Amino acid sequence: MSCTCEHHHATTCDSSGTPITLQPPMVALTGRLICADAAQMLTALSLLPEHTRLSRAEPGNLRFDPTQDENPLIWHLSELFTDAEAFAAHHTRTKDSEWGRSSTAITRDFQRIDAHPLIRQEIPSDGDAIGALNRRAFGGDDEAKLVDALRRDGDLNLSLVAHHDGTILGHIALSPLLAPFPALALAPVAVHPAMQKRGLGKALIRAAIEARPDHAIILLGDPAYYSRMGFQPVDLQSPYAGPFLQGTGPGIQPGAQITHAPAFAALG
């Protein structure tokens, strides 16, 4: 199949990982557009690109990927929305759009399901999507560059993603800390802006802690948020020392010196 879009997206079904239950769930739509003749195919070729652009611009859209089959009369669609309300808003906008008005004769063969994210370790093909997610979540390049540098230096001790069918919705990284006790730095943790305040960040943090039970986990962040997951301020010697330096886990030695991976120094 040849892709008609320009997004980073999964080319194969990815159902790997540990599920996270969301309330309300996301909405996933998969299926086909089936053209009856060349005229309908030309309508799709002409109008789908703009429909795709407008769909992706919707605040509740997480994925909108049309791909044309080897049979040029058929398109495969894979769509993901934050919740039922976002999907309903998409349907309303589509109905009143040029695509909606001009494509009514094209056959739709779709399946809609309630969807929940999965957490798994990153795989090589995730790299670009993780970078894009970090830039989108933080509004800049620093966190994406940090993750790239940690990966390049071999300092990604653990890199977990929250995804649905390969679409990356959240990410967390653990990297080595030089310390007199087993320790890892947690940074960054990123969640797609449209999926924030849904529990994805907490689920990723808990999964990272559970994956490294024999290590202290040290981070720099808001105590009001991280205290809910067992983090407390720690007295450690570090350029980041202060009320926002927090830790959880075994073996933390008050007053000990810790040193982050070299990639952190590049952030200035």
Q: Return the HEC string of 115-158.
A: ECCEEEECCHHHHHHHHHHHHHHHCCCHHHHHHHHHHHCCCCCE
> 62: Cβ–Cβ under 8 A, 6 or more apart, which residues?
26, 80, 81, 82, 164, 167, 169, 192, 194, 195
Give per-residue pLDDT as tens, 42-95. 999 999 999 999 999 999 999 999 999 999 999 999 999 999 999 999 999 999
Q: For position 216, what pLDDT does the model report?
A: 98
Q: For position 267, what pLDDT does the model report?
A: 79
Cβ 115 vs Cβ 26: under 8 Å: yes
Confidence of residue 266 (pLDDT cuts 50, 70, 90): confident
Domain covering 118-265, topology = Aminopeptidase (3.40.630)
For the chain, the structural domain boundaries read 23-115, 118-265
Q: Do domains 23-115 and 118-265 have the same CATH topology?
A: no
Give per-residue pLDDT as tens, 173-200. 999 999 999 999 999 999 999 999 999 9
Q: For position 256, what pLDDT does the model report?
A: 98
**CATH top-level class for 23-115?**
alpha beta
Give per-residue pLDDT as tens, 206-248. 999 999 999 999 999 999 999 999 999 999 999 999 999 999 9
Give per-residue pLDDT as tens, 3-21. 333 333 444 578 889 999 9
